[in-house]
Each structure stands twice: as C-alpha cells, then as structure tokens.
Amino acid sequence: MPDLFIRSKLNPILRNIPGHDWEAVKVYNPGVIFHEGNFHLFYRAVGRGKGRHSAIGYAISKDGEHFKRLAKPLLDRDEGNPHEYRGLEDPRLTKIDDTFYMAYAAYDGSSVRLSIATSKDLKKWVKHPPAFKDFLLTKMGGVFVKWIEGKPIDLYKPKTPERDIRTKAGGIFPEKIGGKYWMLFNEFRIWLAQSDDLITWNALPGPYIGPRKGSELFDNVFVEMGPPPIKTDKGWLVLYHGIDLKDIYRLGFILLDINDPKKIIYRSDQAIFEPSERYEKEGIYDILPGGLDKILNMNTFELRQYLGNLTNKGIMPEVIFCCGAVVVENDLRIYYGAGDTSICTATVSLEKILSLAS
C-alpha cells in the first residue's frame, strides 16, 4: 500500500540555500494552496548562527514541481514577541471565502503555541494571538513521547510546566459545519476544536485520535495531524502521521462524516505513504543525540560517520512529514518534508485513495 504515490523525479524539489542565512541549514514541512492556477508553497526554513530560528519562506509554481522562491522570508519572528523566539514552524493553509488562513506553531524554546495568520492576497499577512488560551496537553488527556536509547517512553508529566503548553499542527476545515468552524490539531494525540471566528479556538474534551495497540500497526506510538481536511464525495479526507516503535513517520488517513466531523467513517489499518528513498531515510534531525548544534559543528566526514553509526544502531528516525495537500484535476498532490532536511512532492489519484475505504 505505501507504493500508491508516485514521487516526483525531481525530488527533492527544494533544498537549503547556503547563501541565504535564514534558510542555510534546511527547508522542510511546507503547507500549500492551489490558487488561480498556481501552487503556492509556504515552507519552514532554518538558518545558521547564534540567533538560529525557523522562518517561513514562500515559493510559487505552475506545474507543482518547478518553483521560484523569494530570497527573503515571507514571515519571520517578531523580535518583541517572546513566544516566537525560536521562530515559526510547519505552516498549514486553508482558504475560506476570500481569506487565507495560515495555522503555524510559534516556538519559544520551551512552549509551542498554535497561532493563526490571515491574508487576502497570500503576500501580506496579519498575525493574531495564540489560538488557544488555556490548553495544557497532559491535562487534556495527552502524553509526551520521547525516544530513549531507541525506545519510545510515555512521559505523563512534562519536564517543566511551560512544556505542557503545547498546541501545534493545526488543520482547519475549509467551511463551516453545523454553524461552527472546525480544526484538527496537535501531536502525540490529535484533538478536535471549534471556533466562531477562525482566530480563537476551543478544544473539545479528550483526544479525538490516538495511537492504536498492535505491533504491526504503523501508528502504535503516537499520531500527529497532517494537512487540512479535504472535502470529498465520501466524506472529509484527513491525512495524519503515524509513528511506530522504530520512530518511522508514515501517512495514514481517516474519513469523517461530511456533516459531523466528530464521526469517524473509516481509518486505514495500513500506511498509504512511507519513507523509502535515501533522502527520506537520512536527515538532519533536531532530536538526534547532541541536537542540531552538535551536527552543525561537524565536517562532512564526521557527519556521515555520525549518521551511519546511528543507522547501524537502529536509532535513526525515518521521516516523511506532510503539512500540505491539494486536489488538482482529481489528483491528490502532497508536499512533505523529507528527513527534516528538504522538500519533496508526490501524487496519487483521489479515487485510488477513496477506494481503500470501500
């Protein structure tokens, strides 16, 4: 089943540019909107230096594979906002009426806060305050998961109270349902949230989607929301990330009732997309021992040796991470971060995906 998608022969379609300080280290985890015949890509970029942080870059394409990008970030941290000290991460895009909504994570180095930015033209964006006022992950029924010596461990208490402030990975439904706006969000577990204005959100009690027991399942450790839901004849198509015991990120999907997003119609038992190419199985991950600072101080030989040792020990993550998906001419095109390092794309017919739920 993971071979459903056809990868672009141009993958990775976007890489870091060493000459651009703000995206010199890596580019990944893009959101996307197809608008007026163009693919508009909004991606996370990480730069070098003492003030290294994540910013959001912008690129545009007619064919979905050849992109032209800005030389400077489209959105960057505000120096006066402590919530954005470590930058803006993993944007997801939704258009409702004449307004574009970008859900992104603002990271201060400890707490992660889902925030919303709005635009009328995809060029000028207005940031709004954090989307949730009082969401604490563990008090809402969530757990943290950390890999220790290659094994996932559930942590029911965060290291500090600040870390319990964790909202991210927000996928906004593109229309009102039952008089409310809806969103699926977060990692480790996925919650549903409602809003009256698309800016301030309230989470429904208890996680909505969690990991499943079973050593053969691709999502038996934790789950994380993927791109915004897509409306289809069979219901709302929701792509999500499933992570297993070996720290491999794969894509699965669920179908939700078109009139009631609280009702799950179908959930895939197998992943529909998984890492298979070298650029998806090797990368520069912040979670590796020593962190990104250690990696950036290595020369090429040291880095290859370091990554090779982790692979041989079986503790190297394998990651495809998808924040963006669009349907164009009945093809589902996804954009994803490969190995937390570069940006790739792949396609599959929407009919083929939906047929799995028959």
Residue 36, pLDDT above cutoff 80: yes
**Model's pTM, two decimal places?**
0.95
Residue 92: alpha-carbon gap to chain centroid? 8
Q: Is the pLDDT of residue 39 over 80?
A: yes
CA distance 98 to 88: 24
CATH number at residue 220: 2.115.10.20
In a domain, 139, yes or no: yes
Q: What is the DSSP letter of 87?
A: B
- What are the start-end ranges of the H helices in the chain? 278-281, 291-296, 300-312, 350-355
On whether residue 309 sits in a domain, the answer given is no
pLDDT attached to residue 2: 59
C-alpha to C-alpha distance for 259 and 313, rounded to whole angstroms: 48
Mean pLDDT across 242-251: 95
Give the burial class of 259: count Cβ atoms within 10 A of its Cβ; 0-12 exposed, 13-18 middle, 19 or more buried.
Answer: exposed
Does residue 112 form part of some domain? yes
8 Å CB contact between 114 and 90: no
Structural domain count of the chain: 1
Tell me the residue range of the domain where 52 lies. Answer: 6-283+319-355
Let me know if residue 102 belongs to a domain.
yes
Task: Look at residue 170 in the predicted model and tell me its pLDDT.
Answer: 98
Rounded CA gap, 285 and 318, in Å? 10
- Between CA 90 and CA 31 the distance in angstroms is 7
What pLDDT score was predicted for residue 22? 96
Query: pLDDT over 90 for what percent of the chain?
Result: 83
Phi, psi of 169 (to 5 degrees): 50, 60
Q: 């996370």: which residue's tokens?
A: 44
pLDDT of residue 1: 58
Residue-averaged pLDDT of the chain: 94
- Domain assignment present for residue 290? The answer is no
Q: Is residue 265 part of a domain?
A: yes
Instruction: Kindly report the number of other CB atoms within 10 A of residue 119's CB atom.
Output: 17
Among 73-82, 144-153, 177-186, name the one with the lowest average pLDDT: 144-153
